[in-house]
Amino acid sequence: MTDRRYVIDEMISAKEIAARIEALCREIQTEFKDTDKLVVVGLLRGSFVFIADLVRELDLPIEVDFLEASSYGDGMESSREVRILKDLRGAIEGRDVLLVEDIVDTGHTLHHVTNLLQSRNPARLRTIALLDKPSRREVDMKANWTGFEIPDEFVVGYGIDYAQRNRNLPYIGKVRFP
């Protein structure tokens, strides 16, 4: 796909994403097999497509809630300052929680949000990220489950944006400036 300012090269196909989600959901179901209800918390906005596919694939009693955190704005670099723009609607104390992140880059957002949720005393808190860029990590933070490890490239698609564009792509693509 070409835009006037940049080109997007496919990195991970829609088919690869779907297959990986199936495998991840089997592991999540094993972890939470004894739950009365799993609260799946999506980090908006980048995780919304991933969370939709995850919850459709999970054969568990599910409740969905969302939290919006920002450390990027419209840029390509993390500001490293995490701001909570929208908090959860429900309480998670004593409940099983799965935090869903689109991409772990520097680790600041996942670290901040995990600490915030942990302070609310969930029974269990686990994390899943569609993408992981370990070469960019500044905070010692890793999701319990990861879809794909990727190199230090700016990516879009499957819910992930660049300046609020390209979220609707069914695949993960690398942004390239010609």
Q: Which of 105, 132, 140, 152 is catalytic?
A: 105
> In 4-73, at which residue ranges do the beta strands (DSSP E only) sit?
7-12, 38-44, 62-70
Judge whether 152 counts as a catalytic residue.
no
Tokens of 140: 């010692």
- Listing from the earlier edge strand, what are the strands of the sheet with 155-156? 7-12, 172-176, 155-156
Distance (Å, whole) CA 53 – CA 67: 18
- Listing from the earlier edge strand, what are the strands of the sheet with 145-149? 83-86, 62-70, 38-44, 96-104, 124-132, 145-149
Task: Give one DSSP letter per residue of 76-127, joined into a string.
Answer: SS--S--EEEE--SS--TTSEEEEEEEEESSSHHHHHHHHHHHTT--SEEEE
Strand 38-44 with 96-104, pairing: parallel
CA angle 47, 18, 107 (to 5 degrees): 35
- List, by residue number, the catalytic residues: 105
